[in-house]
Amino acid sequence: MRKLFLVALCLVGFTVAATAGKIDTKWHCGKATAEHSFDVGDTPNHTYAIGQGTCTASGGSSGEKSGAWTQFINAWKEKVESHGHFNVTMDDGDMVYYTYTESSSDMKHFSNKWKIEDGTGKHKSIKGSGTCSGMQNDDGSSDWTCTGTTTMTAASAKKKG
């Protein structure tokens, strides 16, 4: 009986060792607050740029409040490829740190793949991945819908309590 209890306890321990969550957030991002671009010079309309800006979560249940992005951009003709970092402030003040790669074939509609690298406080050691789709507005702002999954290790899940 005692061995059965230990086996059951171990199974419960493995079951709660990592908790999973979902991300389903809408974002509104203002026009870039800083942007510097350089003509590459090999062909017309080939530019490298770096930009920064901020976003506000406009819907979702994962506790995301605001974000700040920094990205490197390679624009050639109508194609854009970029990669960057997105630092999200949660409702409770904790941070979650994302990296992403992004692309567009028409300079208006964008898609990206993101990965969570880490977080602070309750979100320390969080991991996750997903995708976003977005559209550039005429005023330079953009709107995004992002979905994905997250996992928390047992150490970070304990900090939540």
Q: How far is CA 96 from CA 55, 99, 121, 140, 160, in A?
A: 14, 10, 9, 25, 14
pTM for the predicted model, two decimal places: 0.82
Read off the amino acid at residue 126: I
Q: Is the dihedral of CA 61, 67, 150, 147 positive or negative?
A: positive
pLDDT digits (tens, 9 = 90+) for 92-123: 999 999 999 999 999 899 999 999 999 999 99
Assess contact for 101 and 113: CB atoms under 8 A. yes
Structural domains of the chain sorted by starting position, each given as residue range(s) with its CATH number in brackets: 15-160 (2.40.350.10)
Written as tens digits, the pLDDT of the chain (161 aa) is 343 333 333 333 333 345 789 999 999 999 999 999 999 999 999 999 999 999 999 877 789 999 999 999 999 988 999 999 999 999 999 999 999 999 999 989 999 999 999 999 999 999 999 999 999 999 999 999 999 999 987 654 444 44
Assess contact for 95 and 88: CB atoms under 8 A. yes
| Alpha helices (runs of H) in 43-141, residue ranges in sequence order | none
DSSP type of residue 158: H
DSSP type of residue 117: E
